[in-house]
């Protein structure tokens, strides 16, 4: 399938906008925003970079790298946000509380937030924090799509089995509004599926070519 969706072009022209340490430093709360959330080291920044064909977000072998909300602009009214990872044990407690407060303030107040992409390392899915995020998304009626990242670390069969298992657990616990897919940044696996979700949330219809 050839994706003609304009989301592709927009992602390719994504630019870094700003980093916010608190909610009042975020860009104006208008238009369409999609945030990338997940446990520290789950692959949020890598997924964002892969989807935007750029090295916009800083990735790291040291978990807890992304300490601010980083905004990337797609066009005048659309943005992607790289959120700080949660659950990294070695981050000092005051800093942890600081992030948690600001993350909660952001999630709880952001009108332009149209959906959350939740990254889970396929080898460690459904951490306690992931379950909290799922609870929060359902309670706030926030659309959520899960990327099982680092799928390249397993054989295709094992990755597929994990996908089916996690999908079934999510359906049982949270219903079928939450969608899920496999993803790998180095193999560029799962890009089209993710673009379709982003395009839907950002109200970018798949336009047929002009006759
Ligand atoms: N093999 C493989 N490695 C990945 C993949 N995605 C991320 N990684 C690696 O996992 C590590 C963490 O990736 P990041 O993208 O920085 O993770 P993050 O969730 O943004 O981490 P924080 O910002 O610290 O919360 C890096 O060493 C990445 O290269 C993937 O799909 N496959
Ligand atoms: Mg990061």
Alpha helices in 118-155 (DSSP H): 128-139
CA distance 38 to 111: 20
Task: Select the more confidently predicted residue: 6 or 125.
Answer: 125
Q: Do 38 and 85 meet the contact criterion of CB atoms below 8 Å apart?
A: yes
What's the order of all strands across the beta sheet hosting 69-75?
Answer: 15-20, 69-75, 78-82, 32-38, 113-121, 144-149, 179-182
Residue-level pLDDT at 21: 81
Q: What is the mean pLDDT of residues 72-77?
A: 95
pLDDT interval class at 54 (50, 70, 90):
confident
Residue-level pLDDT at 210: 52
73 lines ligand 1 (CB under 6 A): no
Ligand 1, atom 16: nearest CA belongs to which residue? Answer: 59
Nearest atom in ligand 1 to 61's CA: 27
Residue-level pLDDT at 32: 98
Q: What percent of the chain has pLDDT over 90?
A: 66
pLDDT interval class at 36 (50, 70, 90):
very high
**Domains plus CATH for the chain?**
6-201 (3.40.50.300)
Nearest to 136 by CA among 20, 128, 191, 88: 128
- What average pLDDT is seen over the chain? 88
Distance 119 CA to ligand 1 centre (A): 10
∠ CA(58), CA(64), CA(70), 5° rounding?
45
Task: Select the more confidently predicted residue: 114 or 39.
Answer: 114
Q: Do 74 and 16 meet the contact criterion of CB atoms below 8 Å apart?
A: no
Nearest to 78 by CA among 146, 20, 14: 14
Q: What is the mean pLDDT of residues 137-151?
A: 97
pLDDT above 70: residue 88: no
Least distant ligand from the CA of 40: 1
Do the strands 32-38 and 78-82 form a parallel or antiparallel pair, or are they unpaired? parallel
CA distance 14 to 75: 8
Residue-level pLDDT at 196: 95
Ligand 1, atom 30: nearest CA belongs to which residue? Answer: 150
pTM of the full structure:
0.90
Who's near 169: CB < 8 A, 6+ residues apart?
A: 126
Q: What percent of the chain has pLDDT over 70?
A: 84
Residue-level pLDDT at 63: 61
Q: Do 86 and 67 meet the contact criterion of CB atoms below 8 Å apart?
A: no
Which DSSP string do the residues of 11-78 spell out, in sequence order?
A: HHT-EEEEEESSGGGSPPS-SEEEEEEEBTTSSHHHHHHHHHTS--S---SSTT---SEEEEEEETTE
pLDDT interval class at 103 (50, 70, 90):
confident
152 lines ligand 1 (CB under 6 A): yes
Nearest atom in ligand 1 to 63's CA: 24
């Amino acid at each position: 399938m050839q994706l003609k969706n304009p989301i592709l072009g927009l992602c390719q022209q994504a630019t870094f906008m700003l980093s916010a340490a608190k909610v009042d430093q975020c860009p104006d709360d208008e238009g369409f925003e999609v945030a990338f959330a997940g446990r520290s080291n789950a692959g949020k920044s890598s997924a964002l970079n892969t989807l935007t064909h750029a090295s916009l977000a800083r990735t790291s072998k040291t978990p807890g790298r992304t300490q601010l909300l980083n905004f990337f602009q797609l066009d005048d009214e659309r943005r992607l946000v790289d959120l700080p990872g949660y659950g990294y044990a070695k981050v000092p407690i005051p800093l942890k509380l600081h992030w948690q407060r600001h993350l909660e303030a952001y999630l709880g107040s952001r009108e332009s937030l149209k959906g959350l992409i939740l990254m889970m390392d396929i080898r460690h899915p459904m951490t306690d924090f992931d379950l909290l995020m799922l609870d929060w998304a359902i309670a706030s009626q926030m659309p959520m799509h899960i990327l099982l990242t680092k799928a390249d670390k397993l054989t295709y069969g094992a990755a597929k089995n994990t996908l089916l298992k996690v999908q079934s657990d999510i359906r049982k616990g949270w219903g079928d509004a939450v969608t899920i897919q496999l993803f790998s940044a180095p193999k560029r696996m799962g890009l089209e599926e993710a673009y379709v979700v982003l395009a839907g949330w950002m109200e970018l219809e798949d336009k047929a070519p002009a006759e």
